[in-house]
Structure 1
Amino acid sequence: MAQSSIEWTEVTWNPTTGCDKLSAGCKFCYAEVMTKRLKAMGQEKYADGFKIIRTHESELTRPFAWRKPTTVFVNSMSDLFHVNVPLPFIKRVFDTMNQTPRHTYQVLTKRAELLEEFSSELTWTDNIWMGVSVEDYRVRDRIEGLRNCGAKTKFLSLEPLLGPLPDLDLTGIHWVIVGGESGRKPRPMKEEWVEDIRQQCEAAGVAFFFKQWGGKNKKAAGRELNGRTYNEMPAEPSLRREAVLA
């Protein structure tokens, strides 16, 4: 477990490490930069570098030691549904999440086709939130793969947002995170793109979370939109069922 500065989670947990670049949102991959740094620091977990996918058996028992209910971002340094992560290991990660219902797990992937393919093989307890990254219009088909999986809570990470996303189909989606790119050469994000997505979420009754404007100095740029911060989180599945029944 590592304490996280990501605004929408508390800690990170990485039962796998390593990845490769898949689409435009990967250009300035945070995990790749961090892997190089951690490897240089001599951390064995990252000794093979970023392009080698590794599974870490020792991580599978770690969440059992966390007594306090915690919000956990799973695989901030990898993608659990990468083609080189064996399905039996994914099942073991899910088994850990299934057996620790006090924690809320946030799993995020760009590989929605494998998510959809493997979904029926996995046990989707209520504490597992599943999301896909959608950085621009070209990859919005990932949303359909997410919609077809068995997760009770489904979310979109529109970060780094690289273009407008009009007319999103938010059916079955419970949470949308939007954020701009940060770093030395960030690609710009326009306010009208963000506001349009916010309005779509409002119309669809979907929780909206604005993470950051990004830029070279993301702290200075802040995370206010329309003069306020948006920190909405998805309702628990049981509360959504009660709302439907009412």
Structure 2
Amino acid sequence: MAWSKIEWTEASWNPLTGCTKISPGCKNCYAERMAKRLQSMGAPNYRNGFQLTLHEHALNIPLLWKSPRLIFVNSMSDLFHDEVPLQFIKKVFATMELAQHHVFQVLTKRSRRLAELAPQISWPQNVWMGVSAENGDYLYRIDNLRKVPAAVRFLSLEPLIGRIGTINLSAIDWVIVGGESGPGARPMDSSWVTEIRDQCLRSNVAFFFKQWGGVRKKKAGRSLEGRTWDQMPAEVTNRYQHAIA
């Protein structure tokens, strides 16, 4: 069972592993650190370390999980990496379409390729599509996401290493914000977070604050101005809870 400790999901599924860095948010990549650790432990799927590797044998894993859950797709890679063939991407989406009892959360930094390939992909209703942006230089990724015919679109503004500024939240259902954690973690200013939260409140967009981060992220916690923000997209949350019932 691939249970996840990530606050905004329940499980992870990695039909591919490994990636390459494309923007400042990738500098201290947690997946790279974990992949190298797993390689040293002899984990079969990480024999290539953090080199991009497709795992055909893992494509049907979610079909074996009978109870409904939120599944983060490729927590250890990026499905829309330039070196991932379209046919393999389609296989991943075919599995998600078959596993209607789950909700899948797909996240990418490769928003241009996402927008380019989206018309060639079948988009089942149980797939959430998201993009990551670490500061205001990458707002174009959000614009690309709006072109995608996903039932739910979300933003992962983490690791937040700079001010985002004004966000066009039209057609966006959910926003996650989190600080960087682990060795070399870069600090996150509280004003960057509250500015995003206030935009979400004004636009009636679900807001989820993951963590302050830092070298000791547990000590820093995830409380923002005296409360925890765990909002989820209402439409999909209702659908998911119905599936559980």
How has the CA–CA distance of structure 1 residues 188 and 104 changed in structure 2, closer, same or farther, with 3 Å as cutoff?
A: same
CA deviation vs aligned residue, 1:179-236 (integer Å, no higher than 9, x gap): 0011122111011110010000001110000000001110010000010000000122
8 A Cα contact 2:28 2:183, kept in partner: no
Alignment match, 1:83: 82
The code of the aligned residue for 2:77 comes to S
Identity across aligned pairs (percent)?
Answer: 55
Alignment match, 2:72: 73
1:118 partner SS: helix
Q: 1 CA distance for matches of 2:44 and 2:64?
A: 22
Q: 2 CA distance for matches of 1:18 and 1:27?
A: 14
Which runs of structure 1 show a deviation greater than 6 angstroms over 4 or more consecutive aligned residues?
A: none
Q: TM-score, normalised by structure 1?
A: 0.95
Confirm or deny that 1:18 pairs with 2:11. Answer: no
2:153 partner SS: strand
Q: 2 CA distance for matches of 1:76 and 1:239?
A: 24
Q: 2 CA distance for matches of 1:40 and 1:26?
A: 22
Confirm or deny that 1:187 pairs with 2:178. Answer: no
Q: 2 CA distance for matches of 1:183 and 1:239?
A: 34
8 A Cα contact 2:130 2:156, kept in partner: yes
2:223 partner SS: coil
Alignment match, 1:225: 224
The answer to which structure, 1 or 2, has the higher relative contact order (CA under 8 A, 6+ apart) is 2
Q: TM-score, normalised by structure 2?
A: 0.95
Q: 1 CA distance for matches of 2:15 and 2:159?
A: 24
Unaligned runs of 5+ in 2: 240-245
Alignment match, 2:243: none
Count of residues in correspondence between the two structures: 239
How has the CA–CA distance of structure 1 residues 237 and 215 changed in structure 2, closer, same or farther, with 3 Å as cutoff?
A: closer
- Per the TM alignment, residue 163 of structure 1 is displaced from its structure 2 partner at its CA by 1.0
Alignment match, 1:138: 137
- Per the TM alignment, residue 118 of structure 1 is displaced from its structure 2 partner at its CA by 0.7
Alignment match, 2:37: 37
Alignment of 1:148-163 (within 5 A): 148-163=147-162
The code of the aligned residue for 1:43 comes to A
